[in-house]
Structure 1
C-alpha cells in the first residue's frame, strides 16, 4: 500500500497521487476518502526515541496509467499487486491492516477500532 508524508503546503489528495507514482510508477485518481487513523507512537517504539502521533488519511484510488516498477530511489524494493486475502500473510506495517479494514469494511464513520499491532512491523 503506497503511502508517505504530505509535503509542507501540499494538499493531501495531491500527496496520494504523488506518492503512488513515486513508489509504484502508476498514475492514479483519488475517488473517495476511506477514513482516518490516528495513533500515538511511544518513545520506546519510535525510531528516534521521541514520542509522536501519526495521523493517516486513507483514500480509494483508481489507477489510470503508468507502468508498475519499484521506487526509483530504492526505498521501495518491489511494487506488486497482492490480493486482499493474502495481505495478512505478509510482513507489513500495522497501518496496512487499517487501510485494508477501511477498504473492505467501509465503516460509515471512516474510523476503525485500534488495530492490534502484535507482531506486525510497526513503523
Structure 2
C-alpha cells in the first residue's frame, strides 16, 4: 500500500473559495505533498505560492482527513491500495498575484463563488475542506465525505 501525507489550504474571501485546476482539468484545493523533513505548516504556504502565485498566512488548523482508496477505484489500480492523509489549514491570502504554476501541474487558480463549487468536477478534498471550515469540529475530524463521482486521487 502506498501512502501520501499532504497539506491543503482552504482560502475563503468574500463568499468565494480559492481552487487550483490540475492539468487533468479537475479542481482541488491548493496544496500538496509534505517533503521529507518538512513541517506541514510550512508545506501549506509553500504549496499555495508554488501553485497559485499567492502568499498566505496560516490562521488555524482545521483538521485531518485520512482516507483509504482501494486499488480498484484508483486511476492506476496496479499501484495497489492508497492512503491519503490530508492536513487542512485555513489560510488568509496576504499578497501575490494569481498565476499558473511554473513548470507544474496546476494550470490555473481562481476564486470560485461557494454556490458554484458543487457543479465543478473536483477532488473530494474540496468537500472535506469546506466541511471542516463550515463545522469546525473540536476534534478536527469529519465523518467520511461521500464521493458521488468526485475524484479520489490528487
More strand by share: 2
Q: Same fold (TM over 0.5)?
A: yes
Matched, 1:26 2:54: yes
Name structure 1 gaps, 5 residues minimum. Answer: none
In the alignment, which residue of structure 2 is the partner of 1:85? 115
**Offset of 1:48 from its aligned partner?**
3.8
Q: Which of residues 66, 72, 79 in structure 2 aligns to 1:38?
A: 66
2: distance between equivalents of 1:35 and 1:74?
27
**Offset of 1:108 from its aligned partner?**
1.6
User: Which whole-Å deviations, capped at 9, do the CAs of 1:43-64 have from their partners, x for residues lacking one?
Assistant: 1122442112111100010111
- Residue 58 of structure 2 contacts residue 91 of structure 2 at CA under 8 Å; is this kept in 1? yes
Name structure 2 gaps, 5 residues minimum. Answer: 1-28
- Higher normalized contact order (CA 8 Å, seq sep 6+, divided by chain length): 2
1: distance between equivalents of 2:148 and 2:117?
16
Matched, 1:6 2:34: yes
Q: How many residues align?
A: 123
- Identify which range, 69-78 or 29-38, moves more after superposition: 69-78
Matched, 1:115 2:145: yes
**Runs of 4+ that moved beyond 4 A:** none
2: distance between equivalents of 1:51 and 1:44?
8
- Residue 40 of structure 1 contacts residue 53 of structure 1 at CA under 8 Å; is this kept in 2? yes
With the length of structure 1 as denominator, give the TM-score of the two structures.
0.94
2: distance between equivalents of 1:61 and 1:95?
15
